[in-house]
Structure 1
Amino acid sequence: MKRILVVGGGLIGIRHVGAAQAHPGCHLVGLADPDMSLAPNVPRFADMAEVTDPVDGVIIATPTDLHARHGTHAAKRGWHMLIEKPVAGDLTGAQALRDAVARAGVGSLVGHHRRYHAAVQQLKAMIAAGTVGRVVCANLIWAMRKPDDYFAGNWRAAGGSPVMINLVHDIDILRFVVGEIAAVSALRGAGLRGDTRIESGAVALAFENGATGTISFADTSPSPWGFEAGTGENPNIGTTGQDMMWIMGTEGAVSFPSMTLWSGTDWGQPAQRVPVQKAENAKTPLEAQLDHFLDVIDGAEPLIDVADATRTLDVALQIEGQLASTVKGAIYA
Structure 2
Amino acid sequence: MGDLRAGLVGYGQMGRHHARVLDALDGVELVGIAEPAPRDGRSERIVDDVEAVIQRGIDLAVVAVPTALHESVGGRLAEAGVHALIEKPVAADVASGLRLAEAFEASGLVGCVGHIERYNPALQEMRRRLADGELGEVFQVTTRRQGPYPVRVEDVGVVLDLATHDIDLTAWVTQRGYADLSARTAHRSGRQREDLVAAVGRLDDGTVVNHLVNWLSPLKERVTVVLGERGCFIADTVAADLTFHANGVTPVEWDSMASFRGVVQGDMTRYAIAKPEPLAVELAAFRDAVLGISNDVVSIREAARVVGVAEALLRSSASSATESFS
Q: What TM-score does the superposition give when structure 1 sets the normalisation length?
A: 0.82
> Could you tell me how far 1:19 is from its partner in structure 2?
1.9
Q: 1:192 aligns with which of 173, 188, 191?
A: 188
**Contact persistence 2:140–2:209 (CA under 8 A):** yes
- In 2: Cα distance, 1:71 partner to 1:104 partner: 12
* Superposition pairs of residues 211-230 of structure 1, within 5 angstroms: 211-223=207-219, 226-227=221-222
> Could you tell me how far 1:219 is from its partner in structure 2?
1.9
Identify the range of structure 1 (25-34 vs 262-271) with the bigger mean alpha-carbon deviation. 262-271
> Could you tell me how far 1:94 is from its partner in structure 2?
0.2
- In 1: Cα distance, 2:7 partner to 2:217 partner: 38
Closer, same or farther: CA 52–186 of 1 in aligned 2, 3 Å: same
Q: 1:97 aligns with which of 100, 103, 116?
A: 100
SS in 2 for 1:185: strand
- In 2: Cα distance, 1:42 partner to 1:325 partner: 52
- In 1: Cα distance, 2:20 partner to 2:225 partner: 35
**Contact persistence 1:31–1:42 (CA under 8 A):** no
Aligned to 1:289: 282
Aligned to 2:291: 298
* Superposition pairs of residues 10-49 of structure 1, within 5 angstroms: 10-35=12-37, 40-49=42-51
SS in 1 for 2:167: helix
Q: Does 1:247 align with 2:226?
A: yes
Q: Does 1:259 align with 2:242?
A: yes
Q: 1:309 aligns with which of 291, 298, 303?
A: 303
Aligned to 1:74: 77
**Contact persistence 2:226–2:234 (CA under 8 A):** yes
What amino acid is aligned across from residue 304 of structure 1 in structure 2? Answer: V
Aligned to 1:170: 166
SS in 2 for 1:186: strand
> Could you tell me how far 1:188 is from its partner in structure 2?
2.5
Aligned to 2:266: 272
> Could you tell me how far 1:84 is from its partner in structure 2?
0.5
SS in 1 for 2:217: coil
Q: 1:181 aligns with which of 171, 178, 182?
A: 178
**Contact persistence 2:67–2:156 (CA under 8 A):** no
> Could you tell me how far 1:301 is from its partner in structure 2?
0.9
> Which of the pair is proportionally richer in strand?
2
Aligned length: 300
Q: Does 1:206 align with 2:202?
A: yes
> Could you tell me how far 1:112 is from its partner in structure 2?
1.0
**Contact persistence 1:119–1:280 (CA under 8 A):** no
Closer, same or farther: CA 37–96 of 1 in aligned 2, 3 Å: same
Describe the superposition over 1:47-76 as per-residue Cα deviations: whole angstroms up to 9, x where unpaired.
Answer: 222332321111111111111121111112
- In 2: Cα distance, 1:87 partner to 1:195 partner: 22
Instruction: Give the unaligned 5+ runs of structure 1.
Output: 228-243, 327-333
- In 1: Cα distance, 2:233 partner to 2:188 partner: 34
> Could you tell me how far 1:82 is from its partner in structure 2?
0.8
What amino acid is aligned across from residue 180 of structure 2 in structure 1? Answer: A
* Superposition pairs of residues 53-72 of structure 1, within 5 angstroms: 53-72=56-75
Q: Percent identity, aligned pairs only?
A: 26
- In 2: Cα distance, 1:27 partner to 1:132 partner: 43
Q: Does 1:123 align with 2:126?
A: yes
- In 2: Cα distance, 1:13 partner to 1:195 partner: 24
Aligned to 1:320: 314
RMSD of aligned Cα (Å): 2.4
Q: What TM-score does the superposition give when structure 2 sets the normalisation length?
A: 0.84
What amino acid is aligned across from residue 290 of structure 1 in structure 2? Answer: L
